[in-house]
Amino acid sequence: MSKKAKITHGLPKIELLRDLLRHNGLDAMIIGSEDSHLSEYVAPRDERRAWISGFTGSAGTAVITMTAAYLWTDGRYWTQASAQLAAGEWRLMKVAEPGVPTVEEWLGGGGGGGGNG
């Protein structure tokens, strides 16, 4: 018999995701811009990153941990991301800015985050 995740309606989307991560023994989730076919332009049903973060730009990667949420995007979208991400809930990681690790560096621990967030 499988256990079902306890879903508490009324919680913000990010907290619902964290409940599911916790239930499944996961520490984090990576959500890119592409669909399951790695298409750059996706159908509305595949806009997972936009759904969880509110950021609707066409390029970006979200990483949600149990304690923090990050969005990596390039300079074309910094202003848009700053306006669309919930302040205090998301940290904008400005790709190619000095001192900002790539997603891969951050996940591997070489960028100061290392999944510790």
Res 10: pLDDT: 54
Tens digits of residue pLDDT in 14-54: 999 999 999 999 999 999 988 888 887 888 888 999 999 99
Residue 67 lies in a domain: yes
Residue 51 lies in a domain: yes
Domains identified in the chain, total number: 1
CATH number, domain containing residue 63: 3.40.350.10
Q: Which domain holds residue 79?
A: 13-108
How many CA atoms are closer than 13 Å to the CA of 65, on its beta-carbon side? 12
Residue 96 lies in a domain: yes
Residue 117 lies in a domain: no
Residue 22 lies in a domain: yes
Q: Is 73 left (phi over 0), alpha (psi -120 to 50) or beta?
A: beta
Average pLDDT over residues 101-116: 75
> Residue 96 is encoded by which pair of tokens?
């190619």
Q: In what order do the strands lie in the sheet with 61-65?
A: 28-31, 61-65, 69-73, 91-94
